[in-house]
Amino acid sequence: NDKQMKAVQLKSFGIDQLMVEEREIPALQANEVLVNIKAVSLNYLDLIMVNGSFNKNVAFPYTPASDGAGVVTAVGAGVTRWKPGDRVVIQYVQNWTKGRIDAESNAVRVGWQIPGVMAEFVSIPEHGLVKAPENLSFEETATLPIAALTAWYALIEQAGLRLGQTVLTQGTGGVSLFALQIAKAAGARVIATTSSDEKAARLKALGADAVINYRQYPEWHQQVKALTGGEGVDITLDVAGEQTIGQSLLSVKEHGYVGTAGFISGTALPLDIMQHQINMNFIRIQGLAVGSAESFNAMNRAITINNIHPVIDKIYPLSQVQDAYRRLESGQHIGKVVISLA
Amino acid sequence: NDKQMKAVQLKSFGIDQLMVEEREIPALQANEVLVNIKAVSLNYLDLIMVNGSFNKNVAFPYTPASDGAGVVTAVGAGVTRWKPGDRVVIQYVQNWTKGRIDAESNAVRVGWQIPGVMAEFVSIPEHGLVKAPENLSFEETATLPIAALTAWYALIEQAGLRLGQTVLTQGTGGVSLFALQIAKAAGARVIATTSSDEKAARLKALGADAVINYRQYPEWHQQVKALTGGEGVDITLDVAGEQTIGQSLLSVKEHGYVGTAGFISGTALPLDIMQHQINMNFIRIQGLAVGSAESFNAMNRAITINNIHPVIDKIYPLSQVQDAYRRLESGQHIGKVVISLA
Amino acid sequence: NDKQMKAVQLKSFGIDQLMVEEREIPALQANEVLVNIKAVSLNYLDLIMVNGSFNKNVAFPYTPASDGAGVVTAVGAGVTRWKPGDRVVIQYVQNWTKGRIDAESNAVRVGWQIPGVMAEFVSIPEHGLVKAPENLSFEETATLPIAALTAWYALIEQAGLRLGQTVLTQGTGGVSLFALQIAKAAGARVIATTSSDEKAARLKALGADAVINYRQYPEWHQQVKALTGGEGVDITLDVAGEQTIGQSLLSVKEHGYVGTAGFISGTALPLDIMQHQINMNFIRIQGLAVGSAESFNAMNRAITINNIHPVIDKIYPLSQVQDAYRRLESGQHIGKVVISLA
Amino acid sequence: NDKQMKAVQLKSFGIDQLMVEEREIPALQANEVLVNIKAVSLNYLDLIMVNGSFNKNVAFPYTPASDGAGVVTAVGAGVTRWKPGDRVVIQYVQNWTKGRIDAESNAVRVGWQIPGVMAEFVSIPEHGLVKAPENLSFEETATLPIAALTAWYALIEQAGLRLGQTVLTQGTGGVSLFALQIAKAAGARVIATTSSDEKAARLKALGADAVINYRQYPEWHQQVKALTGGEGVDITLDVAGEQTIGQSLLSVKEHGYVGTAGFISGTALPLDIMQHQINMNFIRIQGLAVGSAESFNAMNRAITINNIHPVIDKIYPLSQVQDAYRRLESGQHIGKVVISLA
């Protein structure tokens, strides 16, 4: 039946509730584009959406996933930007097209307030798509919408990363590896933290100039200072939250930028003006989460010009969707967990 | 004896230990300027320096006060910028001349790592002084180095306040009243919080467009939202710290700026990424404390062009120095507490 | 006939060819808004469009005017932002909603590539309108789309005008008077040039801190320097082009901003790197022309908060449309020439 | 005689008047540093200083050269930043330490208002030196003060070059090759113009993504547009002035940056608001010339982190100083002409 497609559906919370089902291909409205999704990638948000720890008010059945890439198969009336055959990727905050976010745009996120994209076909407003980078596969492209754009927006648009500055990244998750790759492409020095020698070797292979094992150095901010002649770094992205934010602040120099991009160790930020020298050192703590479609396009140009390839931990077929979520849950992944629908 | 002068000396912690004594007028070194101090003003820092709650390692006898203004009476060899008769004001972070602060400059602050200026004569490196605004008295000028420059640097240089934006200020202390005056001079809308109708009236007389009594509305961030059509303000300066920072974050719009300029209710900042919507709303929390000499000069031009006059709570003679500190300690002051040495 | 309206039509070049005719009220499409235009204002662009000196390829009959304000009378299917009764103003570059302009948006300007608004009713895409400031009449509001937004974008968004800086304006045309009013509202010092004592008095009444009669001082940049202690101003808007641009450059300080906002004396800019100290003084020459709808909204908030009222030279009834153009052509106007359709 | 040194002296205009002479080693004053110059490099400025076409008021005998690098051999009283053995490079605008230039600093340039550094020993105020990059030889370091810092300041500090943007450079002179290297290190795409296939090959070897032969394409801005999908580049540095500035403007996209960094084809900039779409495209024309010591340090960090090595055309011994100037005069050089004093 060519009106049917496969889609993942969640009818109650739990990874083991993720089911591949047959659904009807969505009807195409005016100004919308029908996209044949080829791959999706998972984010920490997907994990806490599915296990119910983030948002209790999910309308079941829920189609998960915010990150997706595919090919245009049909366009609705009035569509001018896309044609069948175009390789595209989903813009997570659909209506954030340019400039700064506003309250109205902020309330519409794919896989949260509106359905996700883990389905063979989705219908998307034409302004909610971005052209895929020419140098990337669909699996690679599917890793970009949240993790890469978050790292880009933080480093390039908020922090204004300059050639020759020093950036500190945390661990081997998606945002942090993109931050490493983006910072290196931009000519920065990168110091990375991690928990094992094996991961340290991987980080160095990806370009990290120095790696700190935080098991070996629980007060790792002291190592960061030592590696920067006592000065501290210009920019860091904190992805763990509660357990790391204090040391993140102690790792930056005067007027330093601490982007807070995640909360895998807890959402509380137990800060102290004196202990963390917030005022004395003019530190900027900056909340962040993805970027606009215009930013996404700018990032994709950078990805193509510098031939950056995302780090993919593993690609799962759609039938193993539960395994993919469990891989993310394990915390053992390096880079992005991807599910192929091709 | 024309080589003698009066100076306040502290030999052990406690407001009642502040004594006016006779001391020798300091010798003038090369590249230094001898300034006859006419007035000083007090900051919260002075209070906690003198009562010993901030810094235990004070070298007694300690000459207090960071804020001072006066007239040049002599210049040392090599001085080119100043001549006797010039009206000048102290630059608090002596070696922060331009641009961003660095670690080296950050370690030299008047009345902290180096002696204060509550003396009839002080000897200051020529780059550590700024020309006093022509439209202000010495008593008014003495209020500027910490409180006004902190408000200026936050609003104008960090937050980039634009004509027509909305600013939220807290209470009637020095930094907050300067923030109010600067924001109004810059064509902003100002909402202020306070604890009494009497203070509210004073804030409105100073230009506040709206005032919220936080005793009446303990969840005052809701009033801020109501006064801004649900949006929140562009910029706020938090001066209380622990008790207010959470509501400060909930008072700003997307990409809003929360300057943390003080900690009169505690230095802990009990923040939470989700509860305070830090990531979701792309909030910037910015540590701050005064500015460069270049910023001070720019502020003084603004003060003169717009004929801004600082709000002085009360002027005390030098002999009543202890009363001045107790006034600040009471928290009853509106604006700056000044001590005249004239 | 309630399907008929009055509209000005041009069928060949020449002010005397401007005719008021009966036309059919435009049909309302989906996502469009029908606006009853109450007032329009004229810009230099209107003059050169009508006399044929700017663009030879006009499709006749041509409806002139880029600036218009009125009230919403009906909304098409899908319109969510507007309802009948809303007071609105035209966004000149219809599709420039946010951020920086792009080539696609740049090609669609009201009264140029698409018809103008000198008609009792026009149908406009909902994103091509901006809410009128509450404190302004329709006649005042109609002056904003080109002249005010150009001054705003130059001073506030491009030059980043700060409280206490000095701005130089030229003459008494629309852009320059808005620049004066905006700069004063933002707490700047303003120096203005003009050709007569009478106009000088008017400029001072509008807030100019100093006025230079360029007939008296043909080398007026020397006066600008004298009025700024030899330094020069931070920002100037050049509206005359060929005859003034050189002196504009010589009037600014190091890193100064020279916005080029017009060319009433000629489009050539006869500059010289050495003579005008372009490199030596790090001067920025910045092309500019209006702003985005987001900028327009930000400006309107500033207009309301500071109760700024545009300077209107004279209001003409629609029947005297040719007189209005001739007034503009005369160069005798002070501020904006307005045509009322109410 | 260990109090004697070699120095180049000019006693009247003309390359053939450049003479190597014996002079006394300068006495060391307080706050000064004695530097044993190991290498100098030449700039276009040196050529026009020596041939008399730039500045007629040279005080003979004149010691030429603005760019120099060497090693500290002694420090005067009060010097804290340097010690014998330190590898240093000259800051061309000696007193421009941080932030934006001001009139006072702007008036003191090495080899112009004060003597140049083509001598075995020079005595320099301690704030007028910058630490040499660790990865460069003295000959390489000597190329940095004017050409590299001009390219850095333009691209990184003025234009705010972002990862993934496109930069257009002109030819194979010093500023342009540094611009190419800096832009590539920062992850930009670079298009370069040149006059021969041989030079084109060299530019590609240095990283240029595309090269346009302007002899083949006299209307080279059309090629730039074609290479950028019709859009134009984000940033260009114009180094030729009169003959190229118009095409430079036509090569950039909306809000594009045209830095004017030189005038080898003439100092006139024959621009036209309409023809060059200055207003319509919101183009920024930005004068520029070197940067602050703080910028120089930031650039050196970038040079070391990215192991950038300056392109040296040829190194001449001091005895062939006239040949070095003639090489520059010929216009045949690719990169920097250096004179070794080692």
For an interface test with C, the pick among B149, B163, B184, B299 (most C C-beta atoms closer than 10 Å) comes out as B163
Of B241, B255, B288, Cβ closest to residue A101 = B255
R_g of chain A computed on alpha carbons:
20
Q: Which of C121, C101, C122 lies closest to C110, judged by CA? A: C122
B269 touches B242 (CB < 8 A): yes
d(CA A317, CA A174): 20
CA–CA distance from A255 to each of B89, B106, B252, B286 (Å)? Answer: 26, 11, 22, 9
Give the angle subtended at the CA of C297 by the CAs of A128 and C44, to the nearest 5°.
Answer: 110
CB under 8 Å to B3, separation ≥6 — which residues? B24, B25
Shortest CA gap D77–chain C (Å): 34
Q: How high is the pLDDT of residue D63?
A: 97
Residues of chain D with pLDDT under 70: 1
Q: In the 3-class helix/strand/coil scheme, how is C22-52 assigned residue by residue?
A: EEECCCCCCCEEEEEEEEEECCHHHHHHHCC
Beta bridge pairs of residue D170 = D193
How remote is the C-alpha of A136 from its chain's centroid?
A: 16
**Closest residue, chain D, to C241 (C-alpha):** D273
DSSP state for residue D133 in the 8-state scheme: P
Which residues in chain D have Cβ-Cβ distances shorter than 8 Å to A291?
none
B162 in A contact zone (CB under 8 Å):
no
Q: CA B327, CA B297: separation in Å to the nearest integer?
A: 30
Label residue A1 by pLDDT band (50, 70, 90).
low
- Amino acid letter, residue A115: P
Contacts of C306 in chain B (CB under 8 A): 163-164, 187
How many C-D residue pairs are in contact by the CB < 8 A criterion?
115
Rounded to whole angstroms, the Cα distance separating C50 from C240 reads: 20
Q: Residues for chain B: how many in total?
A: 342
Distance CA D188, CA D231 (A): 16
* CA nearest to D108 within chain C: C280
Q: Give the residue from chain C lying closest to B208, CA to CA.
A: C305
Put simply, the answer to whether B187 touches C305 (Cβ < 8 Å) is yes
Residues in D touching C283 (Cβ below 8 Å): 286-287
Please identify which residue in the block is written with the tokens 């153009």.
C325
Backbone angles phi, psi at A154, to 5 degrees: -65, -55
* Nearest one of D211, D217, D228 to D170, comparing CA atoms: D211
Q: For residues B277 and A5, what is the distance between their CA atoms, to the nearest angstrom? A: 37
Average pLDDT in chain D? 96
Burial letters for C283-322: b for 16+ Cβ neighbours within 10 Å, e otherwise? bbbbbbbbbbbbbbebbbbbbbbbebebbbbebbebebbb
d(CA D43, CA D145): 10
Query: If you search the block for the tokens 């000083």, which residue do you land on?
Result: B40
Size of interface A-C (CB pairs under 8 A): 9
Q: How far apart are CA C97 and CA C82, in angstroms?
A: 16
- Cβ of C267 within 8 Å of Cβ of D275? The answer is yes
A307 CB-contact burial (10 Å; exposed 0-12 / middle 13-18 / buried 19+):
exposed
Interface contact D31, partner A, CB < 8 A: no
D residues 253-312 closer than 8 Å to B (CB): 294
Q: CA-CA distance, C14 to C62, in Å (whole number)?
A: 12
CB C242 within 8 A of CB C267: yes
pLDDT at A182 over 80: yes
Residue A57's pLDDT is what? Answer: 87
Site from B93, B98, B157, B294 to mutate, D interface, most D CB atoms within 10 angstroms: B98
Phi, psi of B55 (to 5 degrees): -140, 115
| pTM metric for this prediction | 0.97
**Cβ–Cβ gap C267/D272 under 8 Å:** yes
In whole numbers, what is the pLDDT of chain B averaged over residues? 96
pLDDT band at B57 (very low <50, low <70, confident <90, very high): confident
Closest CA to A72 of A122, A27, A116: A122
Residue of C nearest to D231 (CA): C103
The DSSP secondary-structure symbol of C128 reads: G
Inform me whether the pLDDT recorded for A247 exceeds 90: yes
Name the residue facing D102 among C106, C254, C280 (closest C-beta): C254
Phi and psi at residue A300, to the nearest 5°: -65, -35
Contacts of A241 in chain B (CB under 8 A): 273
Task: Tell me the two tokens of residue D10.
Answer: 């000019």
The model's pLDDT over A122-177, given as tens digits with 9 standing for 90+, comes to: 999 999 999 999 999 999 999 999 999 999 999 999 999 999 999 999 999 999 99
The overall average pLDDT reported for chain A is 96
Give the whole-angstrom CA distance, residue A291 versus residue A100.
Answer: 8
Give residue C17's pLDDT.
97
Rounded to whole angstroms, the Cα distance separating A39 from A341 reads 5
Nearest to C278 among D260, D272, D280 (CB): D260
Q: What is the pLDDT of residue D1?
A: 62
Contacts of B198 (CB under 8 A, 6+ apart): none
Residues of A with Cβ-Cβ distance to C298 under 8 angstroms: none
The residue assigned the tokens 């009669």 is: C213
Nearest to C187 among B160, B189, B302 (CB): B302
Which chain B residues touch C164 with a CB distance below 8 Å? 298-299, 301-303, 305-306
Where would I find the beta strands (DSSP E) of chain B? 4-10, 18-24, 32-41, 67-75, 87-90, 121-125, 129-131, 166-170, 189-194, 210-213, 233-238, 252-260, 268-272, 284-287, 312-317, 336-340
Contact D187 A185 (CB under 8 A): yes
**CA–CA min distance D294, chain B (Å):** 10
Strands A32-41 and A67-75: antiparallel
Give yes or no for residue B1 having a pLDDT over 80. no
* pLDDT single digits (tens) B184-200: 999 999 999 999 999 99
Q: Which of D32, D96, D98 to mutate to test the interface with B (most CBs of B within 10 A)?
A: D98
List of chain D residues whose C-beta atoms are within 8 Å of the C-beta of residue C108: none
pLDDT score of C55 = 86
Give me A127's structure tokens: 């302004």
pLDDT in tens, A34-77: 999 999 999 999 999 999 998 888 999 999 999 999 999 999 99
CA A15 to chain centre: 20
Q: Which of residues 91-110 of A touch C (CB under 8 A)?
A: 97-99
Residue with tokens 């909603």: C97
Closest residue in C to D153 (Cα) is C282
Under 8 Å between Cβ of B169 and B193? yes
B99 neighbourhood in chain D, CB within 8 Å: 98-99, 294
Summarize pLDDT for B218-262 with one digit per residue, the tens.
999 999 999 999 999 999 999 999 999 999 999 999 999 999 999
Question: Are the Cβ atoms of B284 and A282 closer than 8 angstroms?
Answer: no
Residue D135 CB partners (closer than 8 Å, separation 6+): D303, D304, D307, D309
Q: What pLDDT was estimated at residue D257?
A: 98
Report pLDDT for B246: 97
In this complex, the chains that touch B, judged by 3 or more CB pairs closer than 8 A, are A, C, D
Q: Is B290 left (phi over 0), alpha (psi -120 to 50) or beta?
A: left
Residues of D in contact with C288 (CB under 8 A): 279, 282
Over residues A99-110, mean pLDDT = 94
Quickly state the pLDDT bin for A98 (edges 50, 70, 90).
very high
Low-confidence residues of chain C, pLDDT below 70?
A: 1
Interface touch D106/C283, C-beta < 8 Å: no
Q: Which residue reads 């530019």 in tokens?
A: D203
**From D162, D188, D299, residue closest to A156, measured CB to CB:** D162
Q: What's the Cα-to-Cα distance from C302 to each of A19, B164, D20, rounded to whole Å?
A: 54, 4, 66
Q: What is the pLDDT of residue D213?
A: 98
| A-chain residue closest to D157, CA distance | A162
Split at pLDDT 50, 70, 90, the class of A2 is confident
* Beta-carbon contacts of residue D36 (< 8 Å; ≥ 6 apart): D70, D71, D72, D73, D120, D121
Q: C281 to chain D: which residues are within 8 Å by CB?
A: 106, 287
Q: How far is B185 from chain C (nearest CA, A)?
A: 5
Whether residues A187 and D185 touch (CB distance < 8 A) is answered with yes
